[in-house]
Amino acid sequence: MSAFAYGRMMRNSIDERTRFNLLSAQEKQQQPEKPQDKLTSAAAALIPADVLMLHALLVSLTTTTDDKGTTVITNAMFLGASFWALLGVTALLYLIGRGHSSWTGADIVRLGIPLGAFVAWTALVGTSALTPLVGGRVPQTGLVFAAGIVAVVLAAINEKVKPKKT
Return phi, psi of residue 64, to 5°: -135, 170
Q: CA nearest 114: which of 90, 141, 144?
A: 90
Burial class (CB in 10 A: 0-12, 13-18, 19+), 123: buried
The per-residue pLDDT for 18 is 40
Burial class (CB in 10 A: 0-12, 13-18, 19+), 132: buried
Write out pLDDT tens, residues 93-121. 888 888 888 888 888 888 888 898 888 88
The string of DSSP codes covering 11-64 is HTTT-HHHHHHTS-HHHHHHS-SSPP-HHHHHHHHH--HHHHHHHHHHHHHHEE
CB 5 within 8 A of CB 27: no
Write out pLDDT tens, residues 17-48. 444 444 444 454 555 543 334 433 443 346 67
- CB burial readout 53-75, b (16+ within 10 A) else e: ebbeebbeebbeeeeeeeeebee
How would residue 140 be classed by pLDDT, with cut points 50, 70 and 90? Answer: confident
pLDDT top residue among 21 and 136 = 136
Write out pLDDT tens, residues 57-68. 999 999 999 899
